[in-house]
Structure 1
Amino acid sequence: MFQGKDPRADLFAGNSQPPATGLIAQEQLGRFHGDAPQVSDALRRSWYLRGCNFVLEYSELAPGAKLGRQSQPDEYVLYLDDRQSGATVEWNGTTVTVPGGSIVFVPPGDSCITFPSGAKPVRLFTVKSADLVALCPNADGYRSPRSHIPPFHPWPKPAGGWKVRHYPLDVADQPGRFGRIYRCTTFMVNALPTMNGPRDPARMSPHHHDDFEQCSLALQGSFTHFLRWSWTTDMSDWREDMAVKVGSPSALVIPPPVIHTTQATGTGHNDLVDIFCPPRMDFSQKPGWVLNAEDYPIPDVSEQDSCDT
């Protein structure tokens, strides 16, 4: 489905298996720019949305705000898009100063993040953080198991053991590489290049995934997400095409095997981030695509069967 020089063109070559029947393929949408936050106080407003394996938290924080986790069961992600809004991360008796414009991976256990000048951070957790799942407006959206999505299994521990790791998002584009991809034991995050103005409608990239969700997080600008449900042999799986128009911030969880592509529609800067939980093996096997691959090894065998809730 990929056209021309799209770096993903060879990822799905030869994938001609018809989609399975009995799918539950329902999108999940969070319009953080228009909905009331789930948590609100003098220093903080936070919105939540869950996917099959993960919880996304978007926050707007006043100077001095803190976000803490106690007995966190697994590694989580802090995404700081704004170059002017840094943070300090305390974990295991250490304090790490993180500049704005960074992605941060925080190990399991107790941690506290302080935002001296305020920020609009995104944090990503697996559904093992049950307290955060309960905050999601769509907390019951996965009550029916997604039998075609494998259960979550963390990837191998980082080389050199646990510590707070952070990486700059300001990395130059490179021919043949798709976006700016980072992974940890629980997530893969792809910070796509900023698009200035609307995307050329003659250069779209419709595609699908067989067995994992994609979360598309809009941080600036506006977008239209186009979704098309595959026709299986069972008409009860069929759905009408959708064109989901969103502003920012917002997030859309796209289920497999829905065909999808996204068009930036804003006249200014349009920033989109793709999120996967757990990391994608196909992207990980592309030489040079994962920018922190040396720190996070890939598993020997992928064990993915059905969705844990």
Structure 2
Amino acid sequence: MYVASDPRSKLAKAASEEKPDAAPVAAAGYFMFDDSQPCDQNGDVRTWYAEAQNFVATYADQPAGSRIVRDRQEDEYVVILPERETRAVVSWNGSETPVDGYSVVVVPGGPSVISFEAGGPAICFFTRKAADIVARCEALLPAHEPDRNVPPLEPWPDPVGGFKVRAYSLDVPQEEGRFGRIFRSTNFMINFVYPRQGPRDRTQLSPHKHDDFQQCSLCLAGTYVHHLRWPWETDANLWRDDDHVTIGAPSIAIIPAGALHTSEAVGGGTNQLVDVFCPPRRDFSRQTGWVLNADDYPAPANET
């Protein structure tokens, strides 16, 4: 349920998205990227991991002179560079592409190197085809509960003009009727929601659920309370208590398919969330003008 002023209140749910045979709703996952406890440290590069049903994420402090090297990358991955001061060069397929901070970068499959000329945080999202990253997650994190309401990932169509490094600036003015700043690739959708100043009005929350996909909420600034409620099944042994989890930046919450949820900004300053979906959301993609790089990454023919 959304308040009338929320652009998502106009979303219509297609009959094909119903899940009459839904499995019990899985647990949520919360990952705090605590400065004092990185999962991995290689020199000055500190890295944390998060895990979801169809993808894994890494959060790393990338100082100037550091690199992200992908020798065996089977498919596209997405990098968020949230700080304006960051500068990097992406080497792929014999070409070098400079990228600025405050951007979303899509890197094709195959060998690639991201070289940081000016450092900053880098958040990478990989599908489970990135076997080395998946293995590292499994070695370092508690086992995640499978979300059986999430279908296996099926990539969306190839980009127009073929695969290449693409960088999208987040300097996009807010527009009435459009929700956030949405970019998609063949396998991810990134919604860089506009920041909120101060706490959210508690009379204007937006509890809702997604029947067949997870939501990854990346907190880059401020503090949020993630409120989740699970449906009651006929088997009371499967019932779960509500979650009201307060978590700061930087962090990730993985919200399972089927759980009623809303995120409440409670920080006194800037509060910033980025929502990530794998694969791209069908309902967002149907909204004219919402996906800012739709000319590069088309939706499947039956989704337009």
Shorter-chain TM-score tier? over 0.9
Shift of 1:34: 5.7
Q: Number of residues paired by the alignment?
A: 300
Shift of 1:14: 8.4
Shift of 1:47: 0.3
State how 1:93-132 maps to structure 2 within 5 Å.
93-132=94-133
After superposition, the Cα gap between the structure-2 partners of 1:75 and 1:241, relative to the gap in structure 1 and judged at 3 Å, is same
Q: TM-score, normalised by structure 2?
A: 0.94
After superposition, the Cα gap between the structure-2 partners of 1:158 and 1:269, relative to the gap in structure 1 and judged at 3 Å, is same
Cα deviation digits, residues 239-273 of structure 1 (max 9, x gap): 11110110110000000100000011111111110
| Distance in 2 of aligned mates of 1:202 and 1:114 | 46
Cα deviation digits, residues 258-302 of structure 1 (max 9, x gap): 000001111111111000001011100100000000000111357
| Distance in 2 of aligned mates of 1:5 and 1:13 | 18
- The structure with the largest helix share of the pair is 2
290-299 vs 10-19, which moves further: 10-19
State how 1:257-296 maps to structure 2 within 5 Å.
257-296=258-297
| Distance in 1 of aligned mates of 2:35 and 2:120 | 19
Give structure 1 stretches of 5+ with no counterpart.
303-309
The alignment-based identity, stated in percent, is 45
106-115 vs 28-37, which moves further: 28-37
State how 1:1-309 maps to structure 2 within 5 Å.
1-12=1-12, 20=21, 22-33=23-34, 36-136=37-137, 137-138=140-141, 140-142=143-145, 144=146, 146-301=147-302
Which amino acid in the other structure matches residue 79 of structure 1? I
Shift of 1:41: 2.1
Which amino acid in the other structure matches residue 140 of structure 1? A
| Distance in 2 of aligned mates of 1:251 and 1:187 | 16
For the 8 Å contact 2:75–2:110, the answer to whether it is kept is: yes
Which amino acid in the other structure matches residue 3 of structure 2? Q
| Distance in 1 of aligned mates of 2:276 and 2:192 | 9
Name segments (4+ residues, structure 1) moved above 4 Å. 12-21
| Distance in 1 of aligned mates of 2:266 and 2:232 | 28
Q: TM-score, normalised by structure 1?
A: 0.92
Give structure 2 stretches of 5+ with no counterpart.
none
Shift of 1:237: 3.3
1:305 corresponding residue in structure 2: none
After superposition, the Cα gap between the structure-2 partners of 1:106 and 1:21, relative to the gap in structure 1 and judged at 3 Å, is closer
| Distance in 2 of aligned mates of 1:213 and 1:297 | 22
For the 8 Å contact 2:13–2:283, the answer to whether it is kept is: no
Q: How well do the aligned residues superpose, as a CA RMSD in angstroms?
A: 1.9
